[in-house]
Amino acid sequence: MSESTIGIIVNGASGRMGYRQHLVRSLLAIRDAGGVELADGSRRQIELMIVGRSETKLRELAEKHGIEHYTTDLDSALADPRWQIYFDALVTQARVPAIKKAIAAGKHVYTEKPTAENYEQAVELAELAESAGIKNGVVHDKLYLPGLQKLKRLIDSGFFGRILSVRGEFGYWVFEGDWQPAQRPSWNYRTEDGGGIVVDMFPHWSYVLENLFGRIDSVYARTATHIPTRTDEQGAEYTATAEDAVYAVFDIEGGIVAQLNSSWVVRVNRKELVEFQVEGTHGSAVVGLFGAKIQPRTATPKPVWNPDLAETHDYMADWLEVPTNDVYENGFKTQWEQFLRHVVEDGPNEFDFRAGARGMKLAEAGLESNATGRRIDLPQD
């Protein structure tokens, strides 16, 4: 490996997210393009060390994708100075000890979220990284989606006037595992294994709301385990100890109210698996992963409530599609490139371990709200 090559340890490379989004669609795409493009137009190539529990799986991945280096021994990889960056795509329970090892080894660290199982651990990781002087980052992929980038442009342009509210629907039906295999691993439904939709989704809502609309001041949440018994990957029935849905209201600075429903037990009746409707004094928008529609106040119809007559007006036709004027690449790949530039040339990186810790703080506040039935204020650090 030459000095002009960035060495990256990918831990959890054979997992669902580690393989599809990070290895194949991000890192291998960057490698095959000749490396990450830097500010001066030059490229810095990357070299990968994939790490996992099964040597057989790792060997198959390495042969399939032309990766020279793989190991089941994380400690030996961390001890090797050729690898400057450690990336973590492990299950949440295994993440903190692995990241601590990487920090102690002096590696820059990039990680999936949540960064830890609780806020205290997440803050500890941030402090350790800061003390060690290593670059650190947390995946914030949703902000790079075409739909949310279009929404950001609308916000920055002043299209909405004063933003009043945000309503979001996320989710889909995850099969129970008996008559059809589940689309999510069984550990997602066991609290003791780090599962639950609050810990899974609130770190996302934390950075989406914070970066688009403003600081989150409080949360009120109600969780549910709608399906208490599921079937695991081996065909064995198990008790779901973690929630599979959460219904939450967030108070955002400036008086904005956000209501977000997250569910793995909802049948989709919308164009995309996640959809946000933003209301403003001057206009509204409906945004998904890719699409975005707007309705300015000058083109808003005048509905009249009359339950005695069938509705004849096509309200959906009153919305205008926002054109795709930019080229949007895979969000995971885009943020990987940003983090690599942060490491190589100290480029901007606002999504660090502190940002990840705020996501865990919000998740804990949501669980506390459900347990106590109260709205939970979020003191600012």
Interstrand relation of 376-377 and 216-224 (parallel, antiparallel or unpaired) = antiparallel
Do both 195 and 264 map to the same domain?
yes
In a domain, 88, yes or no: yes
Question: Is residue 149 pLDDT above 60, yes or no?
Answer: yes
* Model confidence pLDDT, tens digit, residues 316-356: 999 999 999 888 999 999 999 999 999 999 999 999 999 99
Comparing CA positions, the residue from 144, 168, 380, 359 lying closest to residue 260 is 168
**Which CATH number characterizes residue 346's domain?**
3.40.50.720
CB 206 within 8 A of CB 168: no
Inter-CA distances, 356 with 53, 137, 204, 299, Å: 26, 8, 9, 40
Taking 3-state DSSP, the helix, strand and coil percentages for the chain, each rounded to the nearest 5, stand at 35, 25, 40
Do both 129 and 148 map to the same domain?
no
Interstrand relation of 292-296 and 274-280 (parallel, antiparallel or unpaired) = unpaired
Do both 217 and 243 map to the same domain?
yes
pLDDT band at 6 (very low <50, low <70, confident <90, very high): very high
pLDDT for res 381: 66
Do both 174 and 160 map to the same domain?
yes
pLDDT band at 3 (very low <50, low <70, confident <90, very high): low
- Give the pair of three-digit tokens for residue 243: 């929630």
Do both 343 and 256 map to the same domain?
no
Q: Which helix (H) or strand (E) holds 245?
A: strand 245-252
In a domain, 107, yes or no: yes
Q: Which residue has the higher pLDDT, 2 or 283?
A: 283
Query: For residue 12, with 0-12 CB atoms within 10 Å meaning exposed, 13-18 middle and 19 or more buried, which class applies?
Result: buried
Cα 331–333–337 angle (5° rounding)? 115
Q: Determine the average pLDDT of the residues in 294-310.
A: 94
Q: Which alpha helices (DSSP H) does 184-241 contain, by range?
A: 197-212
Do both 279 and 368 map to the same domain?
yes
In a domain, 381, yes or no: no
Do both 150 and 241 map to the same domain?
yes
Query: For residue 62, with 0-12 CB atoms within 10 Å meaning exposed, 13-18 middle and 19 or more buried, which class applies?
Result: middle
Q: Determine the average pLDDT of the residues in 278-301.
A: 97
Question: Is residue 76 pLDDT above 70, yes or no?
Answer: yes
Residue 46 backbone phi and psi in degrees, to 5: -115, 155
In a domain, 377, yes or no: no
**How many structural domains does the chain have?**
2
Question: Is residue 2 pLDDT above 90, yes or no?
Answer: no
- Give the pair of three-digit tokens for residue 229: 């018994």
Comparing CA positions, the residue from 361, 357, 338 lying closest to residue 127 is 357
pLDDT for res 91: 87
Do both 157 and 306 map to the same domain?
yes
User: Which SS3 state, helix, strand or coil, does residue 285 take?
Assistant: strand
In a domain, 378, yes or no: no
Residues belonging to the chain: 381
Question: Is residue 315 pLDDT above 80, yes or no?
Answer: yes
What is the domain range of residue 282?
142-328+361-372
Q: Determine the average pLDDT of the residues in 144-161.
A: 97
Residues forming a β-bridge with 85: 8, 108
Q: Which residues contact 372 (CB under 8 A, 6 or more apart)?
A: none
Question: Is residue 188 pLDDT above 60, yes or no?
Answer: yes
**Which CATH number characterizes residue 227's domain?**
3.30.360.10
Do both 172 and 263 map to the same domain?
yes
Cα–Cα distance between 259 and 276 in angstroms, integer?
Answer: 10
User: Mean of the per-residue pLDDT values for the chain?
Assistant: 96
Cα 369–219–222 angle (5° rounding)? 45
Do both 340 and 306 map to the same domain?
no
Q: Which residues contact 183 (CB under 8 A, 6 or more apart)?
A: 172, 174, 175
Cα–Cα distance between 278 and 155 in angstroms, integer?
Answer: 10
* Model confidence pLDDT, tens digit, residues 103-123: 999 999 999 999 999 999 999
pLDDT for res 1: 44
Do both 189 and 80 map to the same domain?
no
pLDDT for res 327: 86
In a domain, 380, yes or no: no
pLDDT band at 4 (very low <50, low <70, confident <90, very high): confident
pLDDT for res 201: 96
Interstrand relation of 108-111 and 85-88 (parallel, antiparallel or unpaired) = parallel
Cα–Cα distance between 117 and 102 in angstroms, integer?
Answer: 18
- Give the pair of three-digit tokens for residue 186: 């069984």
Q: What percent of the chain has pLDDT over 70?
A: 99
CB 359 within 8 A of CB 207: yes
In a domain, 379, yes or no: no
CB 62 within 8 A of CB 376: no
Cα–Cα distance between 23 and 371 in angstroms, integer?
Answer: 38
pLDDT band at 380 (very low <50, low <70, confident <90, very high): confident
Residue 26 backbone phi and psi in degrees, to 5: -115, -70
CB 275 within 8 A of CB 260: no
Q: Is the peptide bond before 114 cis (omega within 30 degrees of 0)?
A: yes
Do both 101 and 85 map to the same domain?
yes
Inter-CA distances, 89 with 10, 14, 19, 21, 122, Å: 8, 9, 9, 10, 16
CB 28 within 8 A of CB 105: no
In a domain, 1, yes or no: no
pLDDT for res 326: 86
Lowest-confidence pick of 63-72, 157-166, 216-225, 300-309: 300-309
